[in-house]
Homo-oligomer: A and B are copies of this chain.
Amino acid sequence: MHISANVSERAKEPPNIGVSVVILALGPSDLDDRADNLPAANTASGTAPDIHATASRSDTANTVEVGNGIDHTASRTSDGDAVPTLRIPLVRRIRQPFLGDWALPGGDLQGGRSLEYAAEKALRSTTSLHPQYLEQLYTFGDPSRSHGGLPMVSIVYWALIGETEAKDFREAQNVRWFPVNQLPPLAFDHKDIIEYALTRVRNKIEYSDIATRLVGSEFTLSQLRNVYEAIYGRKLDAPNFRRRMLSTGMVEPTGEKLARGAHRPACLYRYVAHTGTGKSAKSTKPAKPGSRDIPTIPTQRTAQQ
């Protein structure tokens, strides 16, 4: 990857390729507000002067409200019920353009490796975690998005990380976690990209099994509902949610129960892989992370080679 002598020469060459990841992780779902020991959200993490107010406070000074169509600046609704929130790790830029702003984790693409490999590598180097789910989001290549940097085609992936996994994140230099509804100033078009990823996830959760990957192998329907609520950013009606989950045939009871407090214990369920014989088994190829180059259901393609 060599850089040409002048700009007109450079324009004729193909742009560089990078791979980036929107990493969506479940926040803690237990009701005590642990804002101060959330993954690195509040710890001064680095060398550069802190140009932002504390991101996890309820005031939104120096943070950007992502317009996701849902009104929740805090993680609790007015009636006092907790709505779990999604969190996202970002990397502070240490060079121009957008020096000091926050950006999605990313890396270069190696010739002999798959795109998923590059995405997982970017994810690991930022969080030292493995994704529960990884899928291509979109490829951005408009020349105007470089803002003075080198022209760059960014192949963007999005990843999901479960609550238990997110607890052993790696606290790295210039890496912080932000709630998706309180993002800091972002470099390039990364704000649009995150919004787009959220739209995509909320859409995908409707017809796929991604939510079941964010809970353990056995789970209560409340726990599963919490995953949906975190992704939607709003509370769901518990009775209707139960009916919907059971009617899909995607989950089945284990027979066990789980007591977690001064109330009736909840039945445990497990995920049932779709055999195609289920009742409303919409076609949902699981497509594990790093599996192959064939996307799951609704995405897009066309290729010269």
Contacts and interface: CB of A to CB of B under 8 A. Distances in A.
Contacts of A111: 10-15, 143, 151
A122 B300 contact: no
A285 B199 CA distance: 13
Interface of A: 1, 10-22, 103-115, 119, 122, 135-146, 149, 151-158, 188-190, 192-193, 196-197, 199-200, 203-204, 292-295, 297-305
The 6 closest A-B pairs by CB, nearest first: A106-B304, A154-B303, A156-B302, A137-B300, A138-B301, A18-B304
24 contacts: A1-B14, A10-B111, A13-B111, A14-B16, A14-B108, A15-B17, A15-B109, A18-B304, A21-B302, A106-B303, A106-B305, A108-B304, A109-B141, A112-B143, A114-B143, A122-B304, A138-B295, A139-B139, A140-B293, A152-B303, A158-B301, A188-B303, A189-B303, A197-B300
Contacts of A1: 13-14
Contacts of A155: 139, 141, 153, 302-303
Nearest to A146: B305
Nearest to A98: B305
B17 A14 contact: yes
Contact of A107 (B145, B153, B304): B304
B143 A20 contact: no
A22 B109 contact: no
B200 A151 contact: no
Nearest to A300: B137
A156 to B, nearest CB: 3
B299 A138 contact: yes
Given A104-B302, A142-B292, A112 B158 contact: no
Contacts of A199: 297-298
A294 B109 contact: no
A304 B119 CA distance: 10
Contact of A154 (B11, B22, B203, B304): B304
A189 B305 CA distance: 8
Given A17-B17, A143-B113, A192-B294, A301 B137 contact: yes
B141 A115 contact: yes
A190 B18 CA distance: 24
Task: Name the residue in A16, A106, A137, A138 with the highest tally of chain B Cβ atoms < 10 Å from its Cβ.
Answer: A138
Contacts of A137: 299-302
Contacts of A300: 135-138, 156-158, 196-197, 200, 299
Contacts of A158: 300-302
